Amino acid sequence: MNNPSETLSALSTEQPNKQAECIDTFSTLDIVTLMNEQDAGVIPAVREALPAVARAIDSIVARMKRGGRMLYIGAGTSGRLGVLDASECPPTFNIADDLVIGIIAGGDTALRKSSEASEDSVEGGADDLAPHRITPEDTIVAISASGHAPYCCGALDFARQAGALTVAISCNRNAPFSRLADIAIEAPTGPEVISGSTRLKAGTATKMILNMLSTGIMIRLGKTYRNLMVDVRATNSKLRERAVRLTMVAADVSREKAAQTLEQANGEVKVAIIMCLCSMSAGEARAALTHEEGYVRRVLQNHS
C-alpha cells in the first residue's frame, strides 16, 4: 500500500467539489438543490459498474448453491450499509440468518457510535473474519467508498488465503484495494458536496450496489416468483397481510381462497401458490418445491 496521504489525495472522492466551494453562503433551498443535482450523477456512476455487479452475482450464486455464504465487511458508513443489507435478507427472502453476514469494524457498537480508528487496522479485518471459519465456497465483499481502508485490505488478504471469492466495492476508479479482489466493483461518484464526506453520493451508490447484489442473488436462488417476494417470512401483521396479497396476485385467487390456502400451507406463500395453481395438497406442493430446489416457476412448468 502506498503512503496513505498520497493515496487519499489522489482519490476523486477526496477532491474538493468546485460547485460547492461556497455552499456555506447558499440559501437552504440552494444547498438542497445542489445536493439533488449532484446525486443525479450517482446513477451513471453505478451503471458503469453493472457488468462487475452481474459477474459477482453469478459467482456468488454458484458458491451459495454449494453451501457458501456471503460476508460483507467494512468500516464506518460502508460497514453500516453492509450490516443493514445483510440484516434485511432473512425476513425478505426467508434465508438462514448466517447466509448473508454483515461485519463492521469496531463491532456492533460501531453501528451507533463512531469507531473510525478501527478502519486503520489491517489486522482487524483478518481478526474479524477468522471466527467465521472462511471456506473456498464463501464470498467476502469488502466495502470502502475510498477503496483504501486498511481494515478491508486485511480482510481481503485473509479471504484470499482461505481460498474464498473476494469482491471489492468502492467509489473510485482503480481503487487501491481493487487489486486485492477477484472482482472489483467501482462506481466513480466523484467529489462530494462536503469534501470527503462519502456518506453522501458514495454512500448512495454503495446502497444501490448492495441492493442489486443481494436482490440479484436471491432472484437467481429462486427466492422470487415473477417480481413477487414469495419467500417472505411472515412474522408480523404487515407481512402476514402481504403474504395474502402475494398469494392472491400470483395464483389469481380471491382473498378468501388465498387466506384459506395459506393457513393450510402453514403461512408459506410458495406452497400456497403451488397448491392453488396445481391443485395439490400442502405436502405435495412442498415436495414438488423441494424437488425443484425451491423454484416456483420450475414447478409450474413441470406440472402445467
- List active site positions: 88, 119
Residue 32's SS3 state is helix
The span from the CA of 104 to the CA of 75, in Å, is: 5
The span from the CA of 28 to the CA of 57, in Å, is: 41
Alpha carbon 173 to chain centroid distance?
Answer: 21
The span from the CA of 134 to the CA of 118, in Å, is: 21
- Give the count of alpha carbons within 13 A of 208, CB side only: 25
Q: What is the DSSP string of 100-141?
A: EEEEETT-GGGGTS--GGGGG-HHHHHHHHGGG---TT-EEE
Give the DSSP H or E segment for 141: strand 139-143
What are the grid coordinates assigned to 125, written together?
479485518
In 3D space, the residue among 180, 237, 244, 187 whose CA is nearest the CA of residue 210 turns out to be: 187
Residues in the chain: 304
Give the DSSP H or E segment for 121: none
In 3D space, the residue among 215, 182, 187 whose CA is nearest the CA of residue 86 turns out to be: 215
Query: What is the torsional sign of CA 253, 259, 262, 268?
Result: positive
